[in-house]
Amino acid sequence: MLRFLIRGVVGTGCISLISFVLTLFGIVIPIGMNVITFFSCAFLGFPGILLVYGLYFVQMYV
């Protein structure tokens, strides 16, 4: 259970950090921090982070 919570917190922190760094380069990607984002990062880890960004790009271009 503790590992699950740590992965969720680290995953959402990584999403925040990636969004901040991309904003410095002029790329704005508004990924919302919510329960679904937390659980996808907690269950999947790094692939969950990629899933969140991938779903955003699919939503943006399709």
Tell me: pLDDT of 62 over 90.
Answer: no
Q: What is the DSSP string of 23-47?
A: HHTT-------SHHHHHHHHHHSHH
Question: Are 49 and 41 a contacting pair, CB within 8 Å?
Answer: yes
Domain that holds residue 49: 2-61
Tell me: pLDDT of 17 over 90.
Answer: yes
Chain segment 18-56, per-residue pLDDT in tens = 999 999 999 888 888 899 999 999 999 999 999 999 999
pLDDT of residue 32: 85
Domain count, the chain: 1
**pTM of the predicted structure, to 2 decimals:** 0.83
pLDDT of residue 30: 87
